[in-house]
Amino acid sequence: MVVPPGIERLPRFRLLDGPSPLTRLDRFSAALDGEAEVWIKREDLLPLAFGGNKLRNLEFLVGAALADGADTLITSGRRWSNHCRLTAAAGARAGLAVHLVLTGPPKPSGQEGANHVLDELLGATVHVTSTDDRAERAATVDRIATELREAGRRPFVIDVGGGGPIGAAGQVLAGLEVADQLAAAGVGAATVVVPTATGGTQAGLLTGLALASPPTCAVLGMAVASPAAELGPAIDGLLDGLVGLAGVRPPSEAIAIDDDQIGEGYGRPSAAADEATRLLARTEGLLVDPIYTAKALAGLIARVRDGRLGGSIVFWHAGGTPGLFERL
């Protein structure tokens, strides 16, 4: 893999041991009765605290924090946030204090969700806002940063989801990595199906795969939080933000989003996601989570079954497995 010079120059704190596996799913593919050969990219096996794709963003975000002389990380998200859990883990690894601001309202003591429990186990200080209002969450982040500065600390604030071009630079490398793995497996063209929330993973993969071509890969984002009309412009903006780092700008027409699987909303279970979870578990012994990866898998299954998707497909298992134990 040739890392683009703009990314090579970024400060980086190593959290990964090497590439995540890319594996073919023969029994799952056969169960779909379509013309598809499905592969899985095991971002859920990245090394820290139950893994997940956001460790890639955190290599560059923690790198930026350390370069800035920070001694504390602050980030925020929903109460089931995988990014928050992985920030707690990355902070522990880097010797930085971590403050997390989770969307409320708070659960009664002892009934916190799986990720919240893990956040505290990893040593993070967790603040839960009184409502589910995003503005309250942002104001709480500002207040905590101010209080820490007044106390002589050096906080570094990471955006929700580790978004923005610096975080997405990690996903550019993921795109380059899977391109190498596909080429080694003799796959010349594939569609990558990825769960998408802030769009950072999708933008980074699009950019990395554009740099690597061949293999020729399309990226299909399965929206889990926001409709395509909102997500498309966000991803377009991220592609602009990545040009200076990666030296390539995929065309806006390459942004493909399917928002059919959002169902009742972000973090709300769906029947299709449940069915997808059982099918993968019972054909391959692999687990996905109800908030992100099961919805992406449900979209993949629907498209293979109705013939919209075929050939080689890479299911991007972005992690999030503790979500199986969240009370949604």
Active site residues: 81
320 binds ligand PLP (CB under 6 A): yes
Report the residue number, 155 or 319, with the smaller CB distance to ligand PLP.
319
CB of 226 to ligand PLP, least distance (A): 10
State whether the Cα torsion 172-174-177-181 is positive or negative.
Answer: negative
C-alpha 179/C-alpha 213 separation (Å) is 8
CB of 150 to ligand PLP, least distance (A): 31
250 binds ligand PLP (CB under 6 A): no
91 binds ligand PLP (CB under 6 A): no
165 binds ligand PLP (CB under 6 A): no
113 binds ligand PLP (CB under 6 A): no
Q: Which of 161, 175, 250, 299 binds ligand PLP (CB under 6 A)?
A: 161
290 binds ligand PLP (CB under 6 A): no
Nearest of 111, 75, 115, 110 to residue 91 by alpha carbon? 75
Question: Residue 204: helix, strand or coil by DSSP?
Answer: helix
Q: Which of 34, 51, 175, 319 binds ligand PLP (CB under 6 A)?
A: 319
Per CB under 6 A, the segment of 63-71, 137-145, 176-184, 316-324 that binds ligand PLP is 316-324
C-alpha distances (whole Å) from 273 to each of 21, 43, 285, 292, 296 are 23, 19, 16, 9, 8
54 binds ligand PLP (CB under 6 A): yes
276 binds ligand PLP (CB under 6 A): no
199 binds ligand PLP (CB under 6 A): yes
CB of 120 to ligand PLP, least distance (A): 19
208 binds ligand PLP (CB under 6 A): no
State whether the Cα torsion 63-46-259-191 is positive or negative.
Answer: positive
CB of 319 to ligand PLP, least distance (A): 4
Structure tokens at 256: 């493909």
Q: Which of 91, 200, 215, 322 binds ligand PLP (CB under 6 A)?
A: 200
Query: What's the residue count for the chain?
Result: 328
C-alpha 153/C-alpha 70 separation (Å) is 8
In terms of DSSP bridges, do strands 22-24 and 36-42 run parallel, antiparallel, or are they unpaired? antiparallel
Q: Which of 34, 165, 170, 195 binds ligand PLP (CB under 6 A)?
A: 195
CB of 61 to ligand PLP, least distance (A): 13
CB of 78 to ligand PLP, least distance (A): 9
C-alpha distances (whole Å) from 106 to each of 103, 111, 312 are 8, 9, 44
Q: Which of residues 57-86 bind ligand PLP (CB under 6 A)?
A: 82-83
293 binds ligand PLP (CB under 6 A): yes
C-alpha distances (whole Å) from 12 to each of 63, 92, 166, 203, 272 are 4, 16, 10, 20, 39
Helices and strands, number each (H, E), in the chain: 11, 10
Query: Which segments of the chain does DSSP mark as H helices, in order?
Result: 5-8, 26-31, 54-67, 82-94, 114-121, 134-150, 165-184, 200-212, 228-246, 271-284, 293-305
Per CB under 6 A, the segment of 4-12, 94-102, 274-282, 312-320 that binds ligand PLP is 312-320
Task: Give the binding site for ligand PLP (CB under 6 A).
Answer: 52-54, 82-83, 161, 195-202, 292-293, 318-320
